[in-house]
Amino acid sequence: MTPVLAVDFDETITTLDTVARLPKLAAEYLPRAEAAGRGRSWEQGVSSYVAQWRETFEAVLASPPDGPTAADRVDAFSRRFSDIENGSLTAIEDRSLLHGIPRAALTRCGTGIPKRDGADETLAEARRRGFDVHIISANWSADMLRGAVGDVGDIHSNDLEFDAEGLTTGRFLRRMVSARDKGVCLRGVADGRGRVVYVGDGMNDLAALLEADIGIVIGRKPDMQRVCEALGIPTYAMAEAGRVSAGESLLRVDCWDEIAQCLFERERVGVEPTADG
Ligand SMILES: [Mg+2]
């Protein structure tokens, strides 16, 4: 059976979140005075989003959702952020902050995105060895992602809407907004395939991480660690991989070399998750 390698994009493949590149790119196609106004509007939107998000995050962690499985608890957790995520997208649309970008500029922008060491090589090697490779991302531009990862795999993400002239209209095609969306997407691409590995770095990856046979968290974001603790999701360093159980616990790595080892030298590393947890 064909194995699946599905990965998040921002801060999993890349070194930094790339979404702020989009309003900057839009500003390049505006008169300078108008660009400055949109820049201020973007900054205000970001501050308001971050404040609302942090307030909700602390409130949810103070009284974390209950539920019989880790996936149930993650689902309840992620639903608490749904209004904030959708509201921030609507605010960006209302202010036309991403209007007027040519498609080719988005692809070009993607080619310049700095990536974690070993990410490109591991994805290419996985594909060479017969894995189905998928990028599952809440990023806003499939063209930017395509520019960044080339044709290494299928891209599942939100996107920007284009007009007949090939310029962005400023509106989103909302396909991958929540953690739940990523989990549902992974279930779809895993259907009829073999072992499924998902790699992500953040909270919106949790549903997909739990859906996979092997969920791998890259990096050590303090918020992610707090959520895993609050929702009762054990994470084990790759060295302790023998203890991982599909659907209930996750593996933790610091770099793509460890992921390559897990994928390509599995017998040596000893990752043997059980299907029933
Ligand atoms: Mg990410």
Q: Are 230 and 64 in contact (CB under 8 A)?
A: yes
d(CA 264, CA 268): 9
Give yes or no for a contact between 153 and 147, defined as CB atoms under 8 angstroms apart. no
Report how far ligand 1's centroid is from the alpha carbon of 251 (Å): 16
pLDDT of residue 245: 65
Q: How far away, in angstroms, is 176 Cα from ligand 1 center?
A: 12
pLDDT at 269: 38
CA of 223 relative to ligand 1 center, distance in Å: 12
SS3 of residue 154 by DSSP: strand
State the number of CA atoms in the 13 A half-sphere of 146 facing the CB.
13
Q: How many A from CA of 51 to the centre of ligand 1?
A: 19
| Domain coordinates in residue numbering, the chain | 4-269
Ligand 1 centroid, distance to 268 Cα (angstroms): 28
The alpha carbon torsion through 143, 146, 147, 149 (nearest 10 deg) reads 160
Cα 12 to ligand 1 centroid, rounded to whole Å: 5
d(CA 110, ligand 1 centre) in Å: 16
CA of 169 relative to ligand 1 center, distance in Å: 25
What topology is assigned to 4-269 in CATH? Rossmann fold (3.40.50)
Q: What is the pTM of this model?
A: 0.93
**Rounded mean pLDDT, 12-41:** 92
Q: How remote is the CA of residue 36 from the centroid of ligand 1, in Å?
A: 28
Mind listing the pLDDT tens digit for each residue in 194-211? 999 999 999 999 999 999
d(CA 81, CA 256): 29
From the CA of 115, how far away is ligand 1's center (Å)? Answer: 12
Phi and psi angles of residue 31, each rounded to the nearest 5 degrees, phi first: -60, 150
Q: At what angle do helices 179-190 and 70-79 cross, to 10 degrees?
A: 130
Distance of CA 200 from the midpoint of ligand 1 (Å): 6
- CA distance readout (Å), 43 to 7, 176, 184: 29, 23, 32
Q: Residue 271, CB half-sphere, CA atoms under 13 Å: how many?
A: 26
CA of 201 from ligand 1 middle (Å) equals 5
Measured in Å, residue 9 CA sits from the centre of ligand 1 at 6
Place 242 in a pLDDT band, splitting at 50, 70 and 90.
low
Centre of ligand 1 to C-alpha 109, Å, is 18
- Token pair for 80: 């608490």
Q: Tell me, what amino acid is at 272?
A: E
pLDDT digits (tens, 9 = 90+) for 98-133: 999 999 999 999 999 999 999 999 999 999 999 999
Q: Per mean pLDDT, which range of 25-34, 57-66, 89-98, 109-118 is the poorest?
A: 25-34
Q: CB-based contacts of 153: which residues, under 8 Å, 6+ apart?
A: 5, 123, 127, 132, 133, 134, 135
Which region, left, alpha or beta, applies to residue 6 given φ > 0 means left and ψ of -120 to 50 means alpha?
beta
Which helix (DSSP H) or strand (DSSP E) does residue 179 occupy? helix 179-190
Give residue 34's pLDDT band: very low, low, confident or very high (50, 70, 90). confident
Name the token pair of 183.
């989990």
